[in-house]
A and B are shown apart, each in its own frame.
Chain A
Amino acid sequence: MTEKLNPADAEPTPTPVVAQPDAVEPAAEAPEAAEAAAVVPADAEPMPAPAMAPADAVLVPLEQLAPAIAAASVSRRAFLGFGLAVAGGVVGAGVLAQYFPVFASAGDEVAPIVPNYNPATKAWTFVVDSASCIGCGLCVVACKEENHVPEPAEYARTWIERHVTTTDGQLYIDSPEAGINGFPKDSTAPGAAGKAVKSSYFQPRLCMQCAEPPCVGVCPVSATYQTEDGIVLVDARRCIGCGYCVTSCPYGARYLTPAGEDTPSDTPGVADKCTWCYHRINKGQKPACVEICPVKSRQFGDANDPADPIAAIVKATNPAPFHPEWGTKPRVLYLGPALEEA
């Protein structure tokens, strides 16, 4: 096997020249015949392929053959050179990037959005009491106003569900217009009309700010990320709008923004979600939905702050996460019937 010629080395062997004597005879009908040969006639007679090949050889006179072979070998060398250049360029750029950081990487420390805000000291805690919620929908209104959430009901960062159990034991869930206008007397869920209600409750929903968020893991361009204080955010200028995070969220907390006047960012068609009003909480304010809730069924605070009552609330009421078995370590804590049903 070692004696066998390397095909690459064998390139300039005079094999094509052998074909030359055959090619001398039909040389008179040069260009037209060659052009015709370049086309595979769809309705031609059955003809063995080799018959077309000598006509092809006519195109290349002997004196032009040597440069052609040389060009062919150079192209391979050029190809390898090009590959090496590209590889070298990538490696070089990687090394240079270490010394001259042009682009921020996911591992870089994020500059604080607000001066004097130290996310490392925060233990943001969100408690939702499904027993006390009255389904007024003010939280949905406040969220849409505060965060420029698109008007149509299918785009909601936070919403309210009504869970109705009828006397025949069936459970019906409805959320007309995401609860923004409150709820009619009877459930709008298909099949619920006319049935006697045994029990019902309202369940406010929002992003769970999971400790192990699947949406962050699946993003192909690292556009969605988790801050040091545990809030999952989206960089609207990096998002490509693939919708992968939307499908990955078991809590249905995400959507892609439509184009229009009322969008949360200047680039439409990107993923959007509840941020627990990150722009407010890092200034010491409460999220808009918490602020507006008339019955205090949404409670929010920093458990690390001794002056904040949230730690005492958690200690006294012992709320629990919603569907922890889905494995994402959700961080919104619920109280009341929502937990019992889950």
Chain B
Amino acid sequence: MQAATRPMTIAGRRIPTLREMGAWLVSEVHRTPRGLKIWYALLGVFLAVGGVAALISVPPGWEVMGTSPKFEWGLLIVAYVFFAIITSGLCLSASLGTVFGLERFLPFEKRHAVLALISLITAFLVIALELHYPIRMVFGAMLTPAPTSPMWWMGVFYGTYLVVLIIEVWTLFTNHPVIHKYACTSCAIVAVFAPTTLGAVFGVLAAKPFWYGIFTPIQMVCTALTAGLAILGIVFWAVDRFRLANHGTAKPIAMPSIRLLMAIALVIVSALLIRQMVDALASPQPGMREAAIALISGPLAIQFWGVRVVIGLVVPALLLAMPMTRTPWGLLGTSVTMLVGVFMDRLNFVEAGQIYPRTTQAGTVSYPYAAYTPSPVELGILLFALAFFALAYTLAERYLKMGEGDSHIFWPWPWIKPHHDHEHDGEDDHDHKADGAQVDPLKRLASATPAQEVAL
């Protein structure tokens, strides 16, 4: 392998030649385990099928969606909201480690950030396919800003979010601790603002009483946290099951913590759901009570009781509570059911809001309920988005170094001294320099004060 000329380098790293890249690709294919190949093939099929659906949906005005003037927002809005809140949820739970100093999650910091970025890109993909003119949106939002529109603010915050997330991921992999620090804190802040404005998109619509109100943004943030935790649960299971980087800390440290956080999130989300239903049933506003009845005993009853309540809340709560399911597989079950519950919650929310129009919609009377069935194209785009998300994460896990994330601990409020500051004073700044010299998170945990232990 003696090269005749001096090889090209970037920042000290040699750029491989085309031939080397080809050879690497061939050897990589040989080296890929069989199970992984099957997984890639499956995702490839999903992407192909979904890709066709996505292409069909591109020309504006083709009536390929199940939506209509009486039911204008459908599955793609649900999918967009779902991936957008996963992003925020991941950042909220990631900030536990980076912003609030909970050290248990630090070994998984890179996964949080990479997943959040992938999920946000997926969300943007879905919304670009949902909108008829996404490019107009980019220019229109910048050239003719509309500060009265929550959707414009949502664009501002999620746009900012994308930039900040890219910076965060870049700094995680290139060792820029100072920029990383600011990126992380900005991310945690935007992670609250973004789903709040997303909730406000629905919450300001007085025409849809079920969506209207102050609780919609709150609910959006709480379901965001739930979704983020569920994704992390799946990732922790994968880390443990496939012995990925930092798998040593997944089972003893991360899993008990995430189980506790999941339990808290389930309680909050259940309380909010009960409040929402009671409030709607007691409301004198036309459209509000009918929406709740549609969920409880109407056309949405199966997806409400069966999927949202039983699969989304009761089953994960049982899996968390029972000692025999406090295993990685139990965590996987909890996470998957919680995630299904969150998705169904978003679907129920969007459907119930439109199912009982106050008046005739553009000449169509919907009685007793407006009907909406997702079209194959919409389902295909959802499949595409899920497969894209899974494939991007699989590739990231395989080819990026995910396991050196515990060196970026910092305290963002210098005027308040953290408990462990005296123990790690000066140490933190050196950790990231010693490339690879990882401090055992168990040791770090041992040095945490009893108060922090309780908090965990």
Interface residues of chain A, those whose CB is within 8 Å of chain B, are 1, 4-8, 10, 13, 15-16, 19, 31, 35, 38-46, 48-50, 52-54, 56-57, 59-60, 64-65, 67-68, 71-72, 75-76, 79, 103, 105-106, 140, 153-157, 159, 161, 173-175, 178-179, 189-190, 205, 214, 217-223, 238-244, 246-260, 263, 267-270, 326-327
Contact = CB atoms under 8 A, between A and B. Distances in A.
B367 A105 contact: no
Given A67-B12, A106-B144, A240-B137, A252 B69 contact: yes
A241 B245 contact: no
B435 A327 contact: no
B433 A13 contact: yes
A4 B177 CA distance: 15
Given A214-B207, A240-B131, 14 more contacts: A40-B398, A42-B242, A49-B403, A68-B12, A106-B144, A159-B363, A217-B148, A220-B154, A222-B144, A238-B140, A247-B207, A247-B354, A250-B206, A252-B70
A15 B407 CA distance: 15
Interface string B47-65: 0000000000001111100
A239 B139 CA distance: 11
Which label, helix, strand, loop or mixed, suits the secondary structure of the A interface?
A: loop
17 contacts: A16-B435, A42-B36, A42-B242, A43-B243, A44-B243, A68-B13, A174-B365, A175-B364, A178-B364, A220-B146, A221-B140, A221-B141, A240-B140, A244-B151, A247-B208, A255-B362, A269-B62
A189 B72 contact: no
Given A67-B12, A256-B72, A159 B362 contact: yes
A249 B148 CA distance: 16
A140 B61 CA distance: 22
Contacts of A221: 136-137, 140-141, 144, 146, 152
B362 A42 contact: no
Interface in B294-313: none
B136 A217 contact: no
Interface string B141-176: 101111011111011000000000000000000111
A189 B366 CA distance: 9
A56 B401 CA distance: 11
B246 A154 contact: no
Task: Determine which residue in A48, A220, A240, A250 has the highest number of CB atoms from chain B within 10 A of its CB, and name it.
Answer: A220
B148 A218 contact: yes
B323 interface: no
Contact of B362 (A72, A154, A269): A154
B417 to A, nearest CB: 10
A312 B207 CA distance: 33
Contact of B245 (A49, A57, A71, A255): A49
Nearest to B354: A247
A256 B71 CA distance: 11
B437 A259 contact: no
A105 B142 CA distance: 11
Given A217-B149, A219-B149, A250 B247 contact: no
Nearest to A216: B148
A172 B367 CA distance: 9
Given A39-B28, A159-B362, A175-B363, A218 B150 contact: yes
A101 B361 CA distance: 40
B149 A255 contact: no
B450 interface: no
Contact of B152 (A1, A64, A220, A257): A220
Interface string B186-206: 000000000000000100111
B357 interface: yes
A154 B146 contact: no
Contact of B365 (A42, A64, A68, A189): A189
B1 interface: yes
Contacts of A39: 28, 31, 398-399
Contacts of A173: 360, 365, 367
A56 B435 contact: yes
A103 B131 contact: no
Contacts of A220: 137, 140-141, 146, 149, 151-152, 154-155
A79 B62 CA distance: 43
B69 A154 contact: yes
A308 B62 CA distance: 44
A268 B425 CA distance: 62
A64 B9 contact: yes
Nearest to B401: A40
A56 to B, nearest CB: 7
A76 B179 contact: yes
Nearest to A6: B178
A156 to B, nearest CB: 3
Interface string B303-338: 000000000000000000000000000000000000
Contacts of B136: 221, 238-240
Contacts of A178: 362-364
Nearest to A257: B61
A138 to B, nearest CB: 15
Contacts of B435: 16, 19, 53, 56-57
A4 B427 CA distance: 10
Interface in B394-437: 397-399, 401-404, 414, 425-426, 429-430, 432-437
